[in-house]
């Protein structure tokens, strides 16, 4: 596959903004990269929109810009010219745009600086962000990919990444946890492992073409198991696997599909 200027810009954005997903895409077959890079570039643009300004109204406007772009794609009319939006328009279905719209709405939490109302709200946030993103990633690669498996895997990955991000979120003045006790943290991590186990039971139903969407999940189990074993690692920011362990997990997932 030859990358045009838009896809190259998307790849560069992912490389700078999300190195782990960049590594996962580069481990995928070339044919999958042209679909995953625009999607992950979109995720970076949306996730950072609330953080580039201290003005909530401006942050809302930035998120609305992306909602409007998705609506244009959904309506199959004239789509605005943009390095990320233009390639997205070639790969997203109306259902995909609905999931990504939910992802954008979930990002309002980053603007409001309020704690989650309850665990249901927290779980919905993880589902709509990480779960929704992974569901769309699998679907754009192969429409036969089972959405429930993708969402479960994305939820597990989302919990793992959220626990990793707790120190940075707290330093930025956010309240990332409904309850931050050791038992509560262990319970969250265990919940992630259970979601991952459920997703893995459907691994055999995943079409080969969709499997690259699951490559980012390769790191999740190690992170979650560390949090279960020693919940204090969450506050210490000590959940990340060693670089060599990350590379080995990604290689195993890419070669054998064992995410």
Alpha-carbon dihedral 120, 123, 128, 129, rounded to 10 degrees: 140
Q: Report the alpha-carbon distance of residue 175 to residue 169 in Å, rounded.
A: 7
What residues contact 89, with CB distance under 8 A and at least 6 apart? 72, 73, 79
* Per-residue pLDDT, 165: 97
Give the angle 123-70-147 at the CA atoms, nearest 5°: 45
Q: pLDDT of the chain along its 259 residues, tens only?
A: 568 999 999 999 999 999 999 999 999 999 999 999 999 999 999 999 988 888 999 999 999 999 999 999 999 989 999 999 999 999 999 999 999 999 999 999 999 889 999 999 999 999 999 999 999 999 999 999 999 999 999 999 999 999 999 999 999 999 999 999 999 999 999 999 999 999 999 999 999 999 999 999 999 999 999 999 999 999 999 999 999 999 999 999 999 988 9
Q: Report the alpha-carbon distance of residue 65 to residue 245 in Å, rounded.
A: 39
* Per-residue pLDDT, 77: 86
Q: What is the pTM of this model?
A: 0.95
* Per-residue pLDDT, 158: 98
């Amino acid at each position: 596959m030859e990358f045009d200027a838009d896809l190259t810009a998307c790849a560069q954005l992912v490389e700078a903004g999300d190195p782990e997903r960049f590594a996962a895409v580069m481990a995928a077959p070339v044919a999958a990269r042209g679909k995953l890079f625009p999607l992950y570039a979109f995720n970076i643009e949306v996730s950072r929109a609330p953080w580039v300004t201290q003005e909530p109204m401006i942050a809302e406007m930035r998120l609305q810009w992306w909602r409007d772009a998705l609506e244009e794609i959904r309506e199959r009319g004239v789509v605005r010219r943009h390095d990320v939006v233009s390639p997205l328009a070639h790969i997203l279905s109306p259902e995909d745009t609905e999931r990504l719209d939910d992802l954008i709405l979930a990002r309002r939490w980053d603007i409001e600086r309020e704690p989650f109302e309850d665990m249901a709200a927290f779980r919905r946030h993880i589902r709509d962000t990480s779960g929704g993103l992974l569901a769309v990633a699998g679907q754009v690669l192969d429409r036969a990919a089972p959405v429930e498996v993708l969402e479960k895997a994305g939820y597990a990955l989302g919990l793992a990444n959220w626990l990793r991000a707790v120190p940075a979120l707290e330093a930025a003045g956010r309240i990332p946890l409904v309850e931050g006790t050791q038992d509560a943290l262990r319970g969250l991590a265990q919940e992630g492992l259970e979601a991952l186990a459920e997703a893995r039971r459907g691994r055999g139903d995943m079409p080969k073409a969709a499997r690259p969407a699951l490559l980012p999940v390769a790191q999740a189990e190690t992170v979650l198991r560390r949090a279960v074993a020693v919940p204090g690692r969450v506050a210490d920011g000590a959940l990340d696997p060693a670089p060599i362990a990350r590379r080995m997990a990604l290689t195993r997932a890419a070669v054998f599909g064992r995410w």
